[in-house]
Structure formats: structure tokens, C-alpha cells
Structure 1
Amino acid sequence: MLCCVNPDCQKPLNPDKNNYCHSCRAELIPLLGGRYRPTQMLSDEGGFGRTYLAEDIHKLNECCVVKQFAPKVQGTGPLTKAIELFKQEASRLQELAEHPQIPTLLAYFEQNGYLFLVQQFIDGQNLLKEWQMRGSYSETKIRELLLDLLPVLEFIHLKGVIHRDIKPQNIIRRQSDGRLVLIDFGASKQLVATVQTKMGTVIGSHGYTPLEQMQDGKAYPASDLFSLGATCFHLLTGVRPSNLWIQEGYSWVGSWRQHLSSLGREKVSVSIELGEVLDKLLQRDIQKRYQSADEVIADLTPGLPPSSSVPPTILSTTFTATAANQEPVSPKLNNTLKSKLLLGSSILVLGLGGVWYFQSPPNQKTEPSLPISQPIPSPKSVSENYLLPKPLKGHSSDVNSVAFSPDGTTLASASDDKTIKLWNPVSKEEIHTLEGHSNWIWTVAFSPDNKILASGSADKTIKLWNVETGKLIRTLEGNTDGVTSVAFSPDGKTLASGTASKDMKIKLWNLKTGKLIRTLQGHTNGVGSVAFSPDGKTLASGSWDKTIKLWNLKTGKLICTLAGNADSILSVAFAPDGATLASGSKDKTIKLWNLKTEKEIRTLKGHKDKVNSVAFLPSSVNPNGVILVSGSSDKTIKLWNPVTGKQIRTLETGSGYIYAIAISPDGQTIAGGGSGENILKLWQTIH
């Protein structure tokens, strides 16, 4: 179905074949911003815009949320002001999305007289629906909620942002990890309040909104804390603050305890300590209320130093690393105990993209060797530290592919902004910007001699570039859909390319002449990834048809098909000895395949979203073993022991998806490309 984006349309859902809305007769917009396909209306902002569920056709129809702002103002002055404020709000939302519990801002743009924000879709239920399904919260659940959300509020307040509309509907429990995500920062609501001509516009929801915000339209950090207290009251008692507000005004906040046994239920038990916290959160007088989130945390976790706020991910169940010589924290400890132990210890804390993570020794357990010729290294030979990621700024949109030159002197990045940038990975300086593609660029790869860069684009072409000069050498044409993947043969004489779903072919090109050598056919959907074996005799192709195919390059014949994934194959990579293949899938798993037996060895599970990229560390880096690296839309990069299938460590990258990873030839740098904050970053490793 296709959704009409006329904010006044009463029945916006339309069949795909319609050009005009069957209800309001407005012309349908099949793609917003050239890539986002609206499929369902999620909410209506009272005539000032709507929120839609959409599919990002650039990212395999990945779900996202599109917020529309349609200001109904008279004259060009107010409209210009609205657009200016919209851009300011979008910039602020992008800054806030550094936090892993705030949706990533993916895009903002103006189209057909409307303004649009595109944000990450959070798969999960809001707390109102959760309460309706599971019933009222216990005190333990309320404490967990507060300790999970208060660091988020502390983060946004330090950024100078007040949410203004905290309530159960605007808090989602993320299905992948159970963390609470704060949504709907009300950019459109604040814009409406600014450009609306009538007086008395209030942002917030009755019962959850404090007195100062309701009367004067002014909001402070303490205002959000009142709303959080009202949210806890609702989830604890099952009584909607909005109903009490209609009946009693603000007097209910002084007698909230009488509702603990409402609706004939057994009385909910609340300790003196939590009761005092809720009393202070729900004070009518802002001066008597908590003034900051860390004050609330201090009262919930007595014994901690008053200045020690709980870091944003301190409560996460995934603690991926500790400082050298420190014992790992048991995952069985509850969240609050983890906070106390970690904050009170001498554990080294490293900042990574605006979040926190802990380093822990790799798992020392070993299992029988796989057909990877070298055993995995001992824990001491594995890097113990991943330093702060270094952002490379220059692209204006998502980075879909990254690649290091074989000599390690150049890093290439390909983006939705239709450009390729070449970087010095040491100085972090831009060397060249390559322009010529007419649509987003999916993939880049360097030739073995470091002289040529190949790029594949949604414009259906492959371009070959001179790395030294940045000049275009030639364009390879003949595809009927976008080019999703390119790879050079080890001898540098052949280029392989894969194409999207309207073409579904693999093409082999003669690099010297630019002529097509042969076409490999057999996949029934787009080819998302191609890779040459180290000896150059075999090509692996991973497809959106959920299969991997191995091809004999001398004959062009199919060797075998590897099947077993539940969703699209997004990336394939050969182990250094060529005996094992790794594949990353949209089904959130990595599979390892024995190429001699053509059987699956094992499945690596741990990512919470699709695995977009896999790569092996060069064997020269770890002469005693092999390490597999993976990048995912769950905003993490993981390092794996492919022999045991165990995770070595997780890099929590912060906000934004990881679409592509590349490892420098010396193994000292991991490059990650993606969306949001993670457009392009480098992680330096220490061996």
C-alpha cells in the first residue's frame, strides 16, 4: 500500500497502482526525498502534519519513521521562519541522536510544500501498550524504568533540550535489547507553537504536563522530571493522570498514594524511599521539585558520590570489555548493582561515540579447529584496546561502502550524496572528492596495485578512477539496475560486479580493455555482495534471494549453492586461507561455511539487527590465528573467534547504523561507514 501525504486526507491508504489518492484526489508521492516510500499513517498532528511508517528503498526497504510538518500560515514571512526553525530542530535532533536511546535522524528535507524529518524506526512497544498487555508495574520495574531513562534525560538537558511531552506513549521498549528509547521530541509541535498565530499554544499532554509549562508555556529540566514522575504513577497504579487532571486539576499530585489500590485491585506496595522520590518528582512548585536527573539517580542509588551520574549505557546487559587485569562483571548482577560496582571500582571507562563501554578479557575457552588453517590467538595476542573513534567529516549523507587501499595509504568512502571521498587515514585529511555518478553510490574497491578505484552506483554504472589524480578513467555500462558490489581479482586483471533485483546478474570485466568477459546468472534476486577467493579461482556471490553461490572463474560454471539463511545475504568474505567463507545476513546472523564440504560450520548469533558487512583481519596481523569482524544495523561492530564462534568484544558505536566496515592492511585501523553519527569513523587498535 502507498500512503497519501496530504495532511487533511481522511483515508490516506491507497493501492500501489494509484497515481492519485482515491479519497482526496491529491497526487500521490511514491518516494519522499527520492527514497522513502510512505506505507502507513502512524499519527496525526491535528492538521499540522502527520507521522508515517515508511520504507527506505536505498536500504532494502528498511523501515523508518517520516515526520511531516505542514505549516498552515499566511504569508511568506511566517513560512520562511517555519523552515528556518525546522532546519534548526533537525540539526538539534541529529545532535541528540548521538545517544543510543534516542532515534537516529536519517534525513530532513522540503518537498511539495511540506517539511519532512526521517528518523530511525524503533522496533518495540510503547509503555502504554505494554501496560495494557501486562498490567501495572511493580516497584522493581519502576526503579528499572527510572534508572534506564534518567541518564537519557540528563543527556538531553545537558544539550539544552527539554522534551516537553514525556508520557508512556513516547517511551518504547526496544525489542532487540529491552532498553527504553525516548521518542517524539516534538520538533513539529515546537514549530507549530512558534509560527501559530493564535495565543495559548501548549506543548505537552494534560496530566503529564507540569503547572509552569501549562500556564506559561515555559519548560525546564525539572518540567521533564515532573512528566517522568506522572508516567511512573500511571504505570504503577493504572490510573491515567489525564483523568485525574480533568477531575481535580493538580491537587492529585499531593494524594497520589490513595490510588495505589485503585480499580478494586490489591494495593501496590511502594517503599518509603521510592515514595519520597515520586513525591519530589510530582511537586507542583518547580522550586521544590528535583532540578536535575542526576539528583534523582543519587536518591535512587544511595551511597554513590553525588556527582557520579550513571552513564547512558551503564545499565546495559552487554559489558563488552574491562581494563587490563580486571575481572569481568557477572551478567547475572542486576542493573542497579552493576551501576554501583562499576562506578565504585577502578575499571577503565572509554568514551566511544558518545556512549560508554567496558573492556573485558576475551573468552579463553577453545573448541576443535575448523577448516581455517591457523588457530585463534591466545587472549594476550588479541588487541586489548580500541581507542576513541575518529570521525572523518565531509559526506552529507549515509556512507554505504568503505575500503582501504592494499598499501594502507588511502581510505575510500562511498555515499548516498553521490560522491566518493579519498582520505589519508593517518592525518584524517581528505585527498580527493570523486564526482560523476548521478545517483547514490553503493560500493567501492581498490585494485591490488593501489592505482585504480572501482565504484558501483544506483545509476547502473561502474566507474574506474585514477587513485593518484582522482580523475575518471572510464565508465562500464550495460546493467539494467544499480550496481551493489564490486571486487577485484587478486591479479588485478578482472573486476566482478553484482546488481540489484531488476538485473540479478554478476558480470566479469576485463580491466585492461573495459570489455565484458562473461555474465553469471542463477540468482533470483539482487546480488548484494561478491568476493574473490585468495587464489583467484573462485567467486562467491551473496544474494537477496537468501543464498550464496560459488562460481568457477575459469569456466564460468556454478560450483554449488549454499542455503540456510532466513533472509537476504548482505555480505560475503573469504578467510585468508580460502577454506572458509563468512556471510552476513538480514536475519541478524553470520554463518561460516566449509568450502570443501560445502556445508555450514556454525552460525554466529549476537547482533540484534541485520549484519551488513563482514571481513577477516589480515592473517599477517595475527600470525597465530584469524579474527572475524562484523558491522550491523544494531549500531555495533563485533569481533569474533571463528573457531569457537565466541564473541571477542563488541564496539558500541553509538547512534546510527553500520553499513560497511573495512580493515587496514596492518590491522591497526577499523573503518566504519553508516548513518547518523556513524557516517564515517576510524577505530585505532593497539596490538
Structure 2
Amino acid sequence: MICCLNPDCPNPLNPDKRKLCQTCGTPLVLLLRNRFRVIRVLSDEGGFGRTYLAEDIDKLNENCVVKQLAPKFQGTWAISKAMELFQKEARQLKQLGEHSQIPTLLAYFEQDNYMFLVQQFIDGHNLLKELQWKVSYTSEDIKDILLSLLPVLKFIHDHGVIHRDIKPQNIIRRQSDGRLCLIDFGSSKQLTARVQMRTGTSIGSHGYSPLEQIRDGAAYPASDLFSLGATCFHLLAETSPFQLWMEHGYSWVKNWCKYLRTPIDRNLAKTLDRLLQKDIKYRYQSANEVLLELIANMEVTPAFITEETVAGTLPKLPSQLPITPKKYFKLINILVVIFTVSMLGLGEFWYKQYIHIESSIYTNSNKQNHQKVNSPHASTTASANSWKSFSLANTLEDKNQPIACFAFSPDGTTIASASNQAIKLWSGKTGQEISILEGHSELVNTLAISPDGKTLVSGSDDSTIKLWNLATGQEVRTFSGHKSGVNVLAFSNDGHILADGSTGGTIRLWNLLTRKEMLAITKHKGKITSLIIAPDNKILISGSDNSTIQLWYLVSGKKILTLQGHLGEITSLAITPDGKTLISGSNDKTIKLWNLKSGKQVSTFRGHVGKVNALVVAPSGKILASGGDDNAIKLWELESGRQITTLKGHEQGIKVVAFSQDGKTLMSGSKKMMKIWEINR
């Protein structure tokens, strides 16, 4: 598709190879400045032009944002001033884009009587979208947001820029690293402020913008701080400040606490109260002031220090620090504040110096007291190191047919594999074929073995699910009801409930005690590619080919929320034994960890060079095994995200990985073979 660049065109998208817009007749531009291919309109900037999503062909079609200046003001002064300010904005954005949490300016130019700014595209989701996914924000979450964004505000304010429109929509959680980025510094808002000041037009978003900005068009660093406070309030209360402003004007800020759904940390409440002061003179006057107060009330130093913060000096300390443990803790608390003030601009260098100082203090303290300190991290690392030693115990091959799917019994003694319509049972100890199970009329797509190891379940393209007695190989029951093939299965932790998913997007739940269908979930979006039931048997989690993960109440089938973050199909799901962390794998080659309670993305593991097909958490809950199309099995330390080791031996992509109940055996399967790995500890 080719996008028309006429800012007044109501339907700008056109088929390829057209030379004139089919709606307005404007000549179409294939490439702006012979580099940027405009894809679609992102937003309309009113009387200023439009913002577009584009591709940068000089950077392998990497996405970027194109802002167009097409002012519709009356009078030559306004147009001239708009162009002058747009150029000034470009210079400001070039400086601001040096910060890793602000989009980088890629180009500024004039073409076809329009001015254009091109900026880096931040791939991620904004905080409003996150809130709409029913993410519940805690006091700690809000502190993290403040600690992440306050240094960014300090940076832009030091460059003489006031954002003027901070709100959840303009804060994006970057997908690659989870960091918060501030977007939409708004040439249009800066222009509105100065070009339309004569008409008394206000700047910003009602509810988020302070009185001085809405009433007088005046904005200061403290104005942005009010907007940040209103944003945090919105996330905590799940109530829009705009709605409150429409009903109560600015009187809501006096009683903002009454709108909260749950109580928050007392110190955080004090911080928000001062951020939300109606009168600017009672508000914090700088981002640094807020930052210092937040950190002074924290027990440990937050890991938010970046190279974009304010310059300062770290005071020198004696090379020998003969202090007792009690004095050590007191000194560390003092250092936290001194360190924060001084380090805000020295970045990584001073951060490393601080870590060295802290380590020296800790070492001297231990030497003087002759006490051995047991570090939880050290013990975890030692435990992780013990997983590096593996021996291949057995290899099972099916040279006749490609294997579509696998299942391993919890004790590792029996392996089931499916090729076409037939299911084979193997001895996990001897590698010998035990028996062949036949009954499906079409391809078997998925297999699962119950937690007690007694029942094998198979799902097929014939739209049925069959239950088999694993000991005798006899078919016990057939479940039907789907109109399309069954491609995923999952057992509840107690083995009483079976969940299945079809290629048509329907999930069915079966009570294995009564052998009857419990309910059907038909509102699933996308093809179901993976399923798992949380250990407490209350939540069902499904992955789709549309890159989303959906959480459902197991009993009612009601959807709880949708998780987004992957760029490709969700291929596998796993969950830690404590039920707190959900893990997802995707064909985007990444593994993501999610807080199951809040739905918040915790971290991303990268290491596979092919799509991630299989995930399993060790019974200890500390180690994750993953298998991918790169023929590799990788073991990860869940707490740190550190990759422990890589197991090689498969000649094709790994389809499944599983641990035995005792955690001593790892099993893996690919298209032609199954491998049994013994963990030497």
C-alpha cells in the first residue's frame, strides 16, 4: 500500500503502483527523501499536519515515525513562526534523542512544500494499553515508574524543554528491554503554545495538565511533574483524571486518595500528594527533588542510574574502611543519598566505582567480625553451575516416520510419540518400542500424560480426543465436540481437568472424574498454539498465533486479561511450581517471563537463533530448559536470566523438553529422535 501525504485526505491508503491518490488525486510519493516509505497514518495533528508510520529502507526497512508540518493558521506571521519553531524543535529533538529513553531524531527536511521530522519508532505498548489489559499497579510498580521517568524529565528540563503532555498514552514500555520511554514531545504542542498563545488556547490534556498550563498557557518543570503525578494516579486508581476533571475541575486533587481501590505505601502517598498540588508553589520544583525524596525513603539503592542523568562528583573514601557491621549499614544508608545526588550524571563509570566501594566495605566488615556471610545469589549460582554437567543416557530413533509430537511420563519410564495416525509407546530405560496404539483416523497433533502417569491423551485432526490406559494401551474414552482439529492439550495439577485447544480457536474443558465436558471457550482470538493450567487449578493460560497470551478463569471460562509483548506466534508456555511466574516462548526467538498476578512482563531471555518451540521448568523452580529450531536445548537460571549451558546432539529442531518428577532426568524430542539426559550433580 502507498500512503497519500495530503494531510486533508480522508482515505490516504492506496494500492501499490498507483501514481495518483484514488481519493483526492494528489501525486503519490513512493519514498520521502529517497529513503522513507510511508505506510499509514498514526495520528492527525489537527491544524499542523499528520504523523505517519514509515519504513527506513537505509536500515533494512526498520520502522520509524514521520511527522509532517502542514500548518493551517491564518496569516503569514503564524505560518512563518510555525516553521521557525518546527526547525527549532528539530534541533531540540536532536539533543533529546541522545537519551536512550527518548526517540532518536533521524532526519529533518523539506519536500513538496511540507516540513518533515523523522524519528525512531519505539516498539512496545503504552501504559494506557497496559492498564486496559487489566494490569494492577502496586506501590512498588509506581515507584519503579517514577524512578525510571524522573531522570528523563531532569534531562529534558535541563535542555530547556517542557514536555507539556505527559500521560499514560505517551509513555511506552519498550519491548526489547522493558524500559519506559517518553514519546510525543509534540512539535504541535510546542507550536500551539507559542503560535496560538495570542488566542489564549490551552496546551496539554485536561486532567493531566496543571492549572497554570490550562489557564495561562504557561509551563514549567513543575508542570510536567503534576502530569507525571496524574499519570501515576490514573494507573493506581484505574480512573481517568480527565473524567474527574470534567466532573469536579481541579478539586479532585485535594481528595485523590479516596479514588484509590487499595491503600498505597505511605511515603509514596506523600510524594503523589505533593506532585498533585493545584498551586505550583506547593509542588516539587524539579525532578531531582522528587528523586532524592523517593530514594531517601528506600532501603536499597535502585538500579536506575544511567549515563543520561545529571553530572556530579562522588566523594573520595579512605582505601581502608575499618568499620563494624552496624556502622556499615549506617554508612551504606548515607551513601545511598550522597551517591544518588552525585552519580545522576556520571553513569556507568561511577556506578562501577560505587559497586567497588560497597564491595570493599562489605569485605572489610566481614574480615573484622570473622563471620561467614551466605549470599543467596552465590548459592543460586553454585546450584546453577551443578547443572552444567550432563550425560546422554539414551537415544531413541524412529527412522520410518517423522514424529509429530511427544509426551513423557512423570517418572520418565515411558515415552509416547505420534507419527501420522499411530501412537508408539517406548521404554525410557531400554529405548525399546513397547506397543503401537491405533484409533485416530487422521494425523495426531498432540499428546499428554496425566500427572499420575496412568492416562495418555491424544488430540487429532479428526476433531477427537482419545484417552488411553498407559499400562495396557487400551482406549478408554473418546471425546468429541470440536469442528476442527485438536492441536494442544493440558492437564490440571491434580489430573482432574483436561483442557484442549483446536485450530478453530475453541478451548474445551473436560472433567475427567465424570468424563463430561465442563465448558467451552469460544471467544479466543487466533489459533490456539499452546495451553497450560496454573498449579492452583484456578487459571487457564492460552497462547495464540496472533502473538498474544490470554488468561482465563478455569471454572467460569471468563477472560481475565491479555498479555502482549512477543512479535510472533506463541509456541510454548510454562509456569513455575509456585504459580507466580509464567514463561512464554515464541517464533520471534525470545523467551519472556511474566508476573502471573499482575500480568507485567518481568524479563526477556535471548539466546536461540531459531524459534523457541518448547519450555519446561525444573521441579526446583530455579532452572528453565528450552528447545528451539536451532537444534539446541538451553538451560537458564530463572532468577538471573543467565544461560547455564547448551545441549547439542539433535540433528533437527527440538519439539519438546520435559523433566522427570525428581528433576534428575531431562527428556527431549525432535522430528526423528528422542534423547534422555542424566543430570550429573
TM-score range, shorter chain: 0.3 to 0.5
When the two structures are superposed, what TM-score results if normalisation uses the length of structure 1? Answer: 0.47
Which has the greater radius of gyration? 2
Structure with higher helix content: 2
